[in-house]
């Protein structure tokens, strides 16, 4: 029981570490950062919910509840949680296939999975997902988001766009004659204004998974350049588009006409219809949500660490440079605690009408550049959105959906790693095949299938590469009847053929026309043995015994030695046949060959 508890990650939010030494100056910086991030999150939260097939308040409630919980319970000082663009496609697909009640259940199930991942210290394992898989489904999601926004971008008369890629293309083609010039003008104007406004933020990715290396390396430039834009371009564009729609009485669809506005009330508890029969169908969608959430949040947290570390002291100010509980520029996030916080947020939020939530890159970077020093900034961001909902909800009635689609077009374009397609030729064939397969499957088939195929392809590629690094070479032996081999790499299930080949060669005569009487294996350069490799060594030992061949093992140490001891291999050999090095093993082999 004690060993099990030791294997579990302790539940300790980063907030507890930042409270000692927290001052009024720190509070002022956190309030300022939280207010700024709240303004940035407002249009994105509504846009993500609408694009996912939900009402705009679902995104706002998620940003409020999940944003507060992720900041209060998370493992990062500055990460901001809420709805993200990466979830749009999978949420829309679950909603279309299983309905709203099952979407809420799938979200809660993904939250439970995330919490268990953090509890069992699996936070670092997410980093081992190959970048080809990450980029493949990130770019695929970006394409699908842009495709889903064409309806509102063009103002088409299409009530229920299908989720299937080819069906979407066909539906858009059939309704292309219903383009609304006013909606198209608002969308283009919004997109153009956001692009021009954000030119002071080169390289900033809005809300998607991305190549971590490029982002962290450019974090110092990103932070310095981002100071050029104090007011979020999305808010400016949204305000102007809303004002133009109301003043000119433009014939475009708005939040008020589409959804009846946003309720100016607190989110209420919603208990969805639950059936165990539906849970088995939701396991894979829930796992996809959990996997995407884990990847997004941990990449975001690592990027935040890089931006904090790159923030110049003169830009950070005294309070941020030496923040509460230590230096914010050196304090790294706790991935396991972050996953547990994400899990709690995703378990709670759906029962208050919310959607899946994770760490969001644009809002987190905005939080850092605004001077945040503790998780209190993220909590202020959530309270800011709550105040907006309670006070200014009626103003959202005039927000045109075309403006939100223009903002999402910008978000989708920036979340993609498009340069990777032009640089594919410099990578190996397995990398190219994996990236293109995941991208194509994400767009054409299904995100869940793409993740499954991508992970399987990555695993097979990894197994092949590791097995190709495992090799054997014959060692010279002056004594007739003695065969010796050196093994390198890892003896695992993908490389056991090496041992089988060695056993097969025991039946051949050597240069002196002598049959094998002693087999010496030098395992000094063997780094790892799995259960399949250990079982193959046991088979070799039995085969040697049947042939009357003495087996001598040399250089066993660390994990291979422990594995050989645990499977009983050492107990089946005479103690003198376990030698510290090859020279000693060859000496022992000479004695055994002479005795034979």
Q: pLDDT at residue 331 above 90?
A: no
Is residue 402 within 8 A of residue 153, CB to CB? The reply is yes
State how far the Cα of 428 lies from the Cα of 461, in Å rounded to an integer.
11
The residues, ordered by sequence, that sit 6+ positions from 356 with a Cβ below 8 Å of its Cβ are 62, 83, 87, 91, 107, 110, 289, 293, 346
Task: Return the CA Rg of the chain.
Answer: 30
pTM of the model: 0.76
pLDDT digits over 528-560, tens only?
A: 999 999 999 999 999 999 999 999 999 999 999
Domains of the chain with CATH codes: 23-155+168-422 (no CATH), 424-463 (no CATH), 470-595 (3.30.750.24)
pLDDT at 329: 56
| Confidence at residue 521, expressed as pLDDT on a 0 to 100 scale | 96
- As a whole number of angstroms, the distance between CA 23 and CA 20 comes to 9
- When mean pLDDT is compared across 75-89, 201-215, 340-354, 487-501, the lowest value belongs to 201-215
The predicted pLDDT at position 273 comes to 75
Q: Three-state SS string across 127-193, please?
A: HHCCHHHHHHHHHHHHHHHHHHHHHHHHCCCCCCCCCCHHHHHHHHHHCHHHCCHHHHHHHHHHHHH
Mean pLDDT of the chain: 85
Q: Strands (DSSP E) along 499-580, which ranges?
A: 518-529, 550-554, 578-579
Half-sphere exposure of 302 (CA within 13 A, CB side): 20
Residue-level pLDDT at 461? 83
| pLDDT band at 332; cut points 50, 70, 90 | confident
Contacts of 167 (CB under 8 A, 6+ apart): none
Would you give the DSSP letter of residue 254?
B
């Amino acid at each position: 029981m004690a060993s099990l508890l030791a294997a579990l990650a302790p539940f300790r939010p980063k907030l507890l570490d930042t409270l000692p030494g927290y001052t009024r100056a720190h509070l002022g910086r956190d309030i300022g950062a939280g207010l700024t991030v709240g303004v940035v999150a407002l249009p994105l939260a509504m846009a993500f919910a609408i694009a996912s097939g939900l009402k705009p308040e679902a995104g706002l409630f998620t940003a409020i509840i999940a944003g507060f919980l992720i900041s209060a319970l998370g493992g990062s000082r500055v990460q901001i949680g809420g709805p993200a663009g990466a979830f749009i496609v999978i949420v829309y697909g679950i909603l279309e296939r299983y309905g709203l009640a099952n979407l809420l259940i799938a979200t809660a199930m993904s939250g439970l999975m995330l919490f268990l991942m953090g509890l069992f210290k699996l936070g670092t394992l997410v980093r081992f997902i190959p970048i080809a898989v990450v980029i493949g489904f990130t770019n695929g999601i970006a394409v699908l988001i842009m495709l889903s926004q064409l309806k509102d971008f063009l103002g088409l008369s299409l009530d229920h766009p299908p989720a299937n890629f080819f069906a979407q293309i066909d539906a858009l083609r059939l309704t292309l004659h219903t383009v609304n010039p006013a909606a198209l003008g608002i969308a283009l104007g919004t997109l153009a204004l956001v692009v021009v406004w954000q030119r002071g933020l080169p390289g900033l990715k809005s809300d998607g998974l991305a190549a971590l290396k490029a982002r962290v390396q450019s974090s110092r430039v990103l932070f310095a350049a981002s100071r050029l834009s104090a007011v979020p371009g999305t808010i400016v564009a949204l305000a102007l588009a809303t004002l133009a729609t109301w003043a000119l009485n433009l014939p475009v669809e708005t939040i008020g006409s589409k959804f009846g506005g946003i309720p100016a009330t607190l989110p209420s508890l919603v208990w969805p219809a639950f059936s165990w029969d539906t849970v088995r169908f939701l396991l894979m969608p829930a796992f996809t949500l959990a996997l995407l959430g884990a990847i997004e949040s941990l990449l975001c947290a690592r990027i935040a660490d890089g931006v904090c570390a790159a923030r110049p002291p003169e830009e950070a100010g005294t309070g941020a440079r030496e923040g509460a509980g230590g230096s914010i520029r050196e304090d790294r996030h706790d991935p396991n605690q972050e996953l547990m916080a994400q899990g709690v947020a995703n378990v709670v939020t759906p029962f208050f009408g919310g959607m899946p939530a994770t760490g969001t890159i644009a809002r987190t970077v905005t939080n850092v550049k605004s001077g945040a020093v503790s998780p209190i900034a993220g909590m202020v961001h959530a309270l800011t959105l709550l105040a907006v909902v309670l006070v200014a909800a009626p103003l959202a009635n005039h927000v045109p959906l075309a403006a939100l689609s223009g903002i999402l077009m910008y978000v989708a374009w920036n979340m993609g790693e498009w340069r990777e397609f032009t640089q594919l030729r410099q990578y190996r064939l397995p990398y190219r095949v994996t990236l293109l397969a995941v991208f194509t499957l994400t767009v054409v088939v299904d995100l869940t299938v793409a993740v499954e195929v991508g992970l399987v392809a990555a695993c097979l590629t990894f197994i092949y590469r590791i097995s190709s690094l495992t090799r054997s070479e014959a060692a010279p032996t002056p004594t007739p009847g003695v065969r010796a081999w050196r093994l390198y790499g890892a003896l695992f299930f993908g490389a056991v053929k090496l041992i089988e080949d060695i056993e097969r060669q025991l039946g051949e005569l050597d240069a002196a026309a002598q049959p094998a009487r002693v087999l010496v294996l030098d395992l000094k350069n063997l780094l790892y043995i799995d259960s399949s490799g250990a079982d193959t060594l046991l088979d070799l030992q039995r085969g040697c015994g049947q042939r009357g061949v003495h087996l001598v093992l040399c250089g066993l140490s660390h994990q291979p030695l422990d594995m050989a001891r645990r499977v009983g291999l050492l107990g089946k050999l005479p103690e003198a046949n376990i030698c510290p090095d090859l020279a000693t093993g060859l000496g022992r082999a000479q004695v055994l060959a002479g005795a034979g």
